[in-house]
Amino acid sequence: MQEFDSPFWSWYITILTVVSLIGVALFLLKQRTRKLAPGEKAELMENKWDGDLVELNNPLPSWWVNLFWITLIFSAAYLVLYPGLGSFKGTLGWTSFGEYDKEVDAAKAKYEPVFNQFMGQPVDQVAASAEARDMGQRLFLTYCSQCHGSDAAGAKGFPNLTDKDWLYGGDGETIKASIANGRAGMMPPMGAAVGGDQGVKEVANYVLSLSGSPHDAQLAAAGQAKFVACAACHGEDGKGNTMMGAPNLTDKTWLYGGSEATIMESINKGRSGNMPAQLQALGEAKVHILAAYVYGLGGGMPKAPEPAPEAAAPAEEAAPAPAAQ
């Protein structure tokens, strides 16, 4: 009842329930078993049906009435012990939230050690474990397959996780960060920036030319200069930017489709994609195993080596001290 601001509904439900129980009790009292006096016949309540079927005012059998009383007493006891009368929580203090939390805690105590055994290992090492792969597959089918497909091959607007084309990077730690924190990608509408409908068509053909896809060479040549509006994200060479999640336009991997019409639609209307964060729902151990499973699907990439620090410039030789006079 916490969702109701006014106490009216709590009292309404409580009064309605109590009145209903009292009404049932009064009805049972009215229908108490009464034995017929010797020689007394039951009164005919209605005419006959089907020749010999009649309704008489015989009293209800005692066992039947007693069953109703037992049910009524059980209902009253239940409403005292458990919530059911508006916002009254019951004398036992039971709640469905508490029951859920208890089940979650029991599951954590049972299964967390199984997941935690892999936490100290790098993602690529966990991906090599058959046990971890089986666990990761079950997690993936439960939490990820709705968008990426049961085979992880993706769909329109949902990336294929089995190839080596990654918007944000395909090393283990980056995949783990994507699952844990989610991703929010957004391409703004660029139609006006590239010169309207004609400019959109020209840039779309230039984009097609970058991957060697069929295109109009004359339109592509005109679109090259206008592509500068897109280079801030996709780079001057169109190879994308994993720091921003900007796709590589020089391969033939398309998230929304690679036809001229689809590319024009992307330029005109922009694109918006969102992957929800999973860390709070799953916990770090499950995210770690999920990342290892995705890494092991075939598209995982080793982490790029850190750039070597620049060597310090040699210090200039000290000038010799002047000779003493």
Question: Locate tokens 């994200």: which residue?
Answer: 233
Cα–Cα distances in angstroms (integers) from residue 43 to residues 20, 31, 69, 214, in the given order: 30, 15, 26, 95
pLDDT for 308: 59
Q: What is the pTM of this model?
A: 0.68
Q: Which residues pair with 15 in a beta bridge?
A: none
From first to last of its 325 residues, what are the pLDDT tens digits of the chain? 455 567 888 899 999 999 999 999 998 887 765 666 676 666 656 666 676 777 666 767 788 889 999 999 999 999 999 998 888 889 998 988 889 999 989 988 888 898 999 999 999 999 999 999 999 999 999 999 999 999 999 999 999 999 999 999 999 999 999 999 999 989 999 999 999 999 999 999 999 999 999 999 999 999 999 999 999 999 999 999 999 999 999 998 999 999 999 999 999 999 998 999 999 999 999 999 999 999 999 888 777 666 556 655 554 444 444 333 2
Task: Please name which of 146, 155, 119, 150 lies closest in space to residue 137, comparing C-alpha atoms.
Answer: 150
DSSP string over 72-114: HHHHHHHHHHSS-STT---TT---HHHHHHHHHHHHHHHHHHH
Neighbouring C-alpha atoms within 13 Å toward the C-beta of 143: 23
What is the pLDDT at residue 44? 59
Q: Are 294 and 288 in contact (CB under 8 A)?
A: no
Phi, psi for residue 274 in degrees, rounded to 5: -140, 125
For 186, phi and psi rounded to 5 degrees? -150, 125
**By three-state DSSP, how is residue 187 classified?**
strand
